[in-house]
Amino acid sequence: MWGTTHAIHTAAGTRGVVPPAHVGFTTAPRAVRARVARPNAQGYRMSNVQIAREVGAQCTLREQVGLPREILQLSENVSTQRRGISHKMQPLLDRLDSVPDFSVSGSLSTRNPDLQSFGLKDRFNLNSSQEGLDEFESEVEQLVYDLGKLADVEHAAVTVCVTRNTTCSRLHVDNVGLRILCTYRGPGTEWVASPVLNRIMSESVRNGGNSFSDAIKGVVTAVAPIKRAEEGEVVILKGQGFPNSRGRAIVHRSPLVAEIPGGEDKEFVRLLVKIDDGCC
């Protein structure tokens, strides 16, 4: 029987670790590459040993964070991980009310993800200050890297969007392998929390929609218990494209604002990241 996995990973004690000889400088996160390239307070750039330690610590951090591997089991179709939201990201989240809706997508390498090509500074209408953007981009790059390790893929399809609409209000399954959804502000993704009802509906739509599957969907929508992700909670969804998962994929939807207490009278702004295990 599938369940929901909650995991908390830390990287305590990783400072000062020198990486193996094959770990290159370009494999470190972008924020670290920028930091070690700057002169220190005495005007000297960091030594090769200092760079190795910085890069090694961050590479080790990436390896240790990871994603719960239970999702790879046949019996599992959804898994969650509560990573939380860094306080350094808060300035960006606080200004979302003044940011127009947007959606930007692209394919990133999972070995060395870099979101700079997405032009998010302009999308968020930021001035010369990054206002939390560096932290947000680092978080997303970490997720891309982690999905690459989990799914053993070299590229990931990434979407970053700010929206005030319910984009996928109907319960459905995805035609992908693994998909990560993380809402950094606003109500999170919802999914059917009953294994039996999820299997019935997933099986009914495995070959596409028809009058029978529409009837099943109506029943499930009316009676199924629904779980909703919290802000900053990473949700890993298994789609029909995952091996042996046709008829087993997780049934989910975007949050229905009208069903959130006070939602009919409040404009919700969501900052959502979607990452799929492929370049398409």
- Joined together, the tokens standing for residue 94 give 């606080």
Q: What is the pLDDT of residue 258?
A: 60
Q: In what order do the strands lie in the sheet with 252-253?
A: 226-228, 190-192, 252-253
Q: How far apart are CA 224 and CA 222, in angstroms?
A: 6
- Using one digit for the tens of pLDDT, what is the confidence trace for 99-116? 999 999 999 999 999 999
Highest average pLDDT, of 5-19, 38-52, 68-82, comes from 68-82
Total-model pTM: 0.76
State the pairing for strand pair 155-163/252-253: unpaired
Give the residue ranges of DSSP H helices in the chain: 30-37, 48-65, 90-94, 120-123, 133-151, 195-204, 211-223
Region of 119 (left: φ > 0; alpha: ψ -120 to 50; beta: rest) is left
Q: What is the pLDDT of residue 37?
A: 43
- Using one digit for the tens of pLDDT, what is the confidence trace for 134-183? 999 999 999 999 999 999 999 999 999 999 887 788 888 999 999 999 99
More confident residue, 278 or 252: 252
pLDDT at 11 over 50: no
Ranking 1-5, 166-170, 217-221, 242-246 by mean pLDDT, the lowest is: 1-5
Q: What is the pLDDT of residue 128?
A: 65
Angle between the N-to-C axes of helices 133-151 and 48-65, in degrees from 0 to 180, rounded to the nearest 10: 60
What average pLDDT score do residues 211-233 get? 85
CB 181 within 8 A of CB 273: yes
pLDDT at 213 over 90: no
- Using one digit for the tens of pLDDT, what is the confidence trace for 257-270? 666 655 554 568 99
What average pLDDT score do residues 173-201 get? 94
What average pLDDT score do residues 90-95 get? 93
What average pLDDT score do residues 106-130 get? 91
Backbone angles phi, psi at 273, to 5 degrees: -120, 130
CB 207 within 8 A of CB 274: no
What average pLDDT score do residues 128-135 get? 84
